[in-house]
């Protein structure tokens, strides 16, 4: 597959191709995933796969986009009208951290930053399905919490971005520099608790 600008075309077997790609990417990562394996797992021909996604990076970006939305939707399922900001932020933060430190999430970040100059569609997909989606979901919740008198925030977009960055603290630099490749539950809890505590200390009503 070549790095060609391409608008995603949807058709009858689009979801089938996407699910097959998700399975293979999750198992083998971006570099290890072959077009043959993706087509076989999806139960389609290579010609069909290419008709939807002529570039493997674009397919990877679309899978990442869907995965981000899936995780965001799953996180919202546990939010009820009685949930406190601490509870909502803990659940949202945990989902973000799990994605940040996953092989899939890290591969997505590395590929997009490496290829965004030559393949801007990939960077756009990454931003819309990652940072922008996180901001939108958090801002929507902040509005509700502010109306209930639970949070006090003037710049909602900035607050959302700050919380996302707090959840990366300690993890991301070590991952990107190859210092560590995995983190235990205690380390995740440490960073998550710190992110929620610091956010609430600044924005708690």
pLDDT (tens digit, 9 = 90+) per residue, 67-88? Answer: 777 766 666 665 666 789 999 9
Domain 7-54 coded CATH 3.40.190.80: no
Q: Are 53 and 74 in contact (CB under 8 A)?
A: no
Delimit the domains of the chain by residue range. Answer: 7-54, 60-203
pTM over 0.75: no
Q: What is the arithmetic mean of pLDDT over 35-56?
A: 91
Domain 60-203 coded CATH 1.10.357.10: yes
pLDDT tens for residues 137-176?
Answer: 889 999 999 999 999 999 999 999 999 899 988 887 788 7
Q: How far is CA 19 from CA 14, 22, 24, 39, 43, in A?
A: 9, 5, 9, 10, 10
C-alpha torsion angle, residues 158, 138, 83, 205 (rounded to 10) = 20
**List of residues 6+ apart from 27 with CB closer than 8 A:** 33
């Amino acid at each position: 597959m070549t790095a060609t600008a391409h608008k995603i075309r949807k058709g009858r077997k689009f979801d089938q191709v996407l699910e097959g790609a998700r399975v293979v990417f999750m198992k083998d990562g971006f570099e290890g995933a072959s077009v043959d394996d993706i087509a076989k797992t999806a139960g389609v021909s290579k010609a069909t796969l290419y008709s939807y996604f002529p570039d493997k990076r674009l397919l990877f970006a679309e899978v990442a986009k869907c995965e981000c939305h899936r995780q965001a939707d799953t996180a919202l399922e546990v939010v009820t009208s009685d949930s406190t900001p601490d509870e909502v932020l803990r659940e949202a933060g945990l989902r973000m951290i799990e994605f940040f430190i996953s092989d899939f999430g890290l591969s997505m970040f590395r590929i997009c930053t490496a290829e965004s100059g030559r393949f801007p569609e990939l960077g756009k997909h990454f931003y819309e399905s990652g940072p922008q989606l996180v901001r939108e979901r958090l801002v929507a919740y902040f509005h509700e919490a502010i109306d209930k008198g639970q949070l006090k925030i003037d710049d909602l977009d900035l607050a959302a971005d700050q919380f996302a960055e707090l959840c990366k603290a300690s993890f991301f630099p070590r991952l990107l520099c190859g210092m560590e490749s995995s983190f235990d539950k205690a380390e995740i809890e440490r960073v998550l608790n710190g992110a929620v505590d610091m956010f609430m200390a600044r924005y708690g009503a």
